Structure 1
């Protein structure tokens, strides 16, 4: 666990968001009537604060039920491995398109292609639909010739929950499904008991809004709890020390370590939830991508990964 210095820009953005964006988010209901407009706003904001890098190649994927995008950043020169990215959005918003700024930067930092899955959202679909889409996207990578030790699974927030749930499920079946797991501000407890301690500190989210989003799920497991001795991949978790899901990140790191995984938790003070999505505004996001790139490259080159 390590702390990172905080820029004046990040501190200012957090202060402004606390008094402007957070009250608006808290005041809006999360239901079938408001979500279509909210999704469009989120998409536009995401593309503004994390614009796709110039020179990025985007290729749409429609293989049976799998909807996704191949994203290759301007420095993605490797094809010997791939990243499966699962976007956030509280299970009710977000898309591969809105996350192109994130996936293009992750692709550039790792020099790898990224398959961003466009999983089905709630409330139109139950939790099992999103989980199934992640599994099918992984199967697509396997069918394209990527062995488990050449696949990195990554995700943020709700997508971090889906990504970790998939990895734990694979481990429970005795299979190591990935070379590494990379998580940005992951959720780990859909009952939100862990998040209660962070309510009021987050500059963007509040507990009531998170409850409203999760209430649309059906058939979702409540806790991410890996079993000891299962074949879990090395994991890197980034989170803000001052966000709603800080305790989720800490608890998940503890649980993964207790189960036998090598897990590195990096807590960043005074940052926003998934500050990696604020690449045009927060300089620490660039540092975080570089650290993520080093982690992924080292995991793929480690003797343990190559021996799987």
Structure 2
């Protein structure tokens, strides 16, 4: 019974492969620029490890044994895989290669933003796929990023997770959205909302959207010892403009989101009369993806789409 080596010696496998190909100790010594006795010693070691002569005398020199011949393909495969393991990373070529990218975002993200992201991916990497996942409270996006099931998470946070990589995308000012023919809208000018109006008007608001996310609007009010008049909460953010269009309720949201529905549903937006900080949107990713060329390309496309919104 032959004894397995404690450590796999790649150089020894290379010598095995060359001996089986060249069928000559002297030619292998020349190829590797090593003394012939060293190659002869390696052949003896290989014979001891395999329990087979590997090379024997033939009519016109050395020839592989049957067992030696059977090892040729396996040795070549190991050498090729080893070379590939340590070869330099090749850059992602968007127009030629296909990848599937996974991005998670809450449903209050602006339609124009993701439309631009999709258009860029279709134009720059037509063979690739994009999967947009919903970001809801029960989604552990930190684990999904760490496991590689998500490439990016896009959203807004008061304090993004510190251990993730982060890149700011854009700021979105906060506005109030209401039906254009409500009693309040009919008697109030475009810039006429007062702080008291904002706090007392009946409002519809999203329920908790992200894990640990209290919300920029209510966090700000809480720090000012203020509270708005929320009479309806919903986990389905994109239904809220339609609720506003059919009721006397007010929705406080980002300007980009509000502008889309203001035009679509004939609503009216007002500048909020309190000094709210804007909603600040980021893209987040894990260290495992930091240096991947396809991931760098994806982040660049998302950033470019965000810059277009800022113009």
What TM-score bracket applies, with the shorter chain setting the length?
under 0.3
| Greater strand content | 2
Larger Rg: 2
TM-score by length of 2: 0.26
TM-score by length of 1: 0.26
